[in-house]
């Protein structure tokens, strides 16, 4: 009998996961609050519901299930909604991350508390409640500070406050900016640890961790968009040494297990500071940005999404299926046009014809308004490519980005 999978979230970046599950012979039911969610066009069924409100999602699926259907699994991708996945799975009695794990993964302060208890290396951190308290932290700490909402996503409300910087924002503005992006109006600060940052993505299967996804994050525009922390894609394989990479992977696995992930996926934001790896954050879901669906398979040959889908419906993959088969060069860059009204979009076809370019996706159109870049959703497009080496992949992708002109005006 065909199995049924609930996909929480049906945005653009969920489409490859929906397509993969359907290709595996699985009946996919996608849920999103947006009636025009692009993933609905690919799923077998669609359900209207808020992906970030568990009780509303459960109510929507309770009504859907009146026809007598029960899912075999629940998952999410490119939306930070493991708490909704856990609630829906608990209602239907299927396996997923626990509600405790989901709560830890969506509350950055609780997450850090758990990591501290487990002895996981993390930056210094603290919850703050006022601009005056932020000023006190800035005065007392010797290092630069990151201020962020406790419970937001997509780098919304996240600021880097450089020590002794001339153009550092006022503490009052910084605190209010972070608090306004928090649904619960909670704010925290942590030390900014300089050094290479890495995106990891892997699995915990029966208590053992496997981390085939390992990408160097690109922050070349960190000063351009300051004080906001905006990533501009990344590249694989990593430039880190084998020994350091192994240390990062081992730490990512320990962090995932510390959160309570037993049979599921884990996405890590890691940093190597003065030669030692630290965990910045860990998510209990599939990544966005096409990392899990495109970059990891192109880089390693691992069918990452296929394995994640199988875990979601209760199947257990073999260890060799999660081991990289090769290491090809992969690069990704985003497109950040000047703010204003889009007057023209040029060079897309030219960029697409460059050798090794696998994806050119434009996320705006003529007549739309390009806002200031303050978080990751402000990206107007993405370019991805493959080559025999990371250096060649970067060259190809950056050449393609230079071809694309998104002309804006008033």
pLDDT for position 1: 78
Question: How many angstroms separate the Cα of 191 from the Cα of each of 56, 139, 188, 223?
Answer: 36, 13, 11, 18
Burial class (CB in 10 A: 0-12, 13-18, 19+), 242: exposed
Write down the pLDDT at residue 165. Answer: 76
Domains for the chain: give ranges and CATH numbers: 4-96 (3.40.50.20), 124-191 (3.30.1490.20), 194-327 (3.30.470.20), 329-410 (3.30.470.20)
**Whole-number pLDDT of residue 154:** 86
- Encode pLDDT of 364-390 as tens digits: 999 999 999 998 888 999 999 999 999
What pLDDT, on the 0 to 100 scale, is given for residue 249?
98
Pure H helices in 24-107: 54-64, 82-92, 99-105
- Name, in order, each residue with C-beta under 8 angstroms of 41's C-beta and a sequence gap of 6 or more: none
pLDDT of residue 225: 94
Its pTM stands at 0.95
Q: What are the DSSP calls for 162-195, one per residue?
A: -TT-TTPPPHHHHHHHHHHT-TT--EEEEE---S
Q: Is 115 exposed, middle or buried (0-12, 13-18, 19+ CB in 10 A)?
A: buried
Phi and psi, residue 16, nearest 5°: -60, -30
Cα-based distances in Å from 345 to 119, 352, 382: 50, 14, 14
Digit-coded pLDDT (tens) for 243-293 = 999 999 999 999 999 999 999 999 999 999 999 999 999 999 999 999 999
Mean pLDDT by 10 residues, the chain (410 residues): 95 97 98 97 97 96 92 95 98 96 97 98 98 96 96 93 85 97 97 98 97 98 94 98 98 98 97 98 96 98 98 97 98 96 98 98 96 90 98 98 95
CA distance 30 to 48: 9
In 3-state terms, what secondary structure has residue 140?
helix
């Amino acid at each position: 009998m065909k199995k049924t999978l609930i996909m929480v979230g049906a945005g653009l970046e969920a489409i490859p996961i929906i397509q993969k599950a359907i290709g595996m012979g699985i009946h996919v039911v996608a849920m999103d609050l947006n009636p025009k969610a692009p993933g609905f066009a690919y799923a077998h069924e669609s359900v209207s519901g808020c992906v970030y409100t568990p009780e509303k999602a459960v109510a929507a699926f309770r009504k859907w299930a009146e026809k007598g259907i029960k899912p075999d699994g629940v998952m999410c991708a490119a939306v930070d909604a493991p708490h909704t996945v856990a609630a829906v799975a608990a209602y239907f009695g299927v396996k997923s991350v626990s509600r405790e794990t989901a709560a830890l993964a969506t509350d950055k302060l609780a997450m850090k508390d758990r990591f501290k208890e487990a002895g996981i290396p993390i930056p210094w951190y603290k919850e703050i409640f006022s601009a005056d308290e932020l000023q006190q932290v800035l005065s007392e700490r010797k290092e630069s500070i990151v201020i962020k909402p406790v419970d937001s996503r997509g780098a919304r409300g996240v600021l880097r406050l450089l020590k002794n910087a001339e153009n550092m924002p006022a503490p009052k503005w910084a605190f209010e900016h972070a608090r306004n992006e928090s649904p619960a109006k909670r704010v925290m600060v942590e030390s900014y640890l300089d050094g290479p940052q890495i995106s990891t993505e892997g699995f915990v299967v029966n208590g053992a961790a496997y981390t085939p996804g390992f990408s160097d994050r690109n922050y070349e525009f960190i000063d351009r968009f300051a004080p906001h922390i905006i990533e501009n894609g990344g590249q694989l394989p990593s430039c880190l040494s084998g020994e350091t990479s192994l240390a990062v992977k081992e730490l990512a696995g320990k962090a995932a297990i510390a959160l309570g992930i037993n049979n599921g996926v884990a996405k890590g934001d890691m940093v190597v500071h003065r030669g030692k790896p630290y965990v910045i954050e860990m998510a209990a879901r599939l990544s966005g940005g096409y990392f899990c669906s495109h970059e990891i398979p192109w880089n390693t040959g691992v069918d990452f999404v296929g394995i994640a889908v199988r875990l979601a419906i209760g199947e257990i993959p073999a260890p060799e299926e999660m081991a990289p088969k090769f290491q090809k060069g992969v690069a990704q860059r985003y497109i950040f046009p000047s703010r204003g009204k889009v007057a023209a979009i040029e060079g897309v076809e030219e960029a697409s014809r460059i050798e090794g370019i696998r994806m050119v996706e434009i996320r705006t159109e003529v007549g739309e308004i390009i806002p200031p870049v303050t978080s990751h959703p402000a990206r107007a497009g993405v370019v991805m490519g493959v080559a025999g080496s990371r250096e060649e992949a970067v060259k190809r992708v950056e050449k393609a980005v230079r071809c694309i002109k998104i002309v804006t005006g008033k």
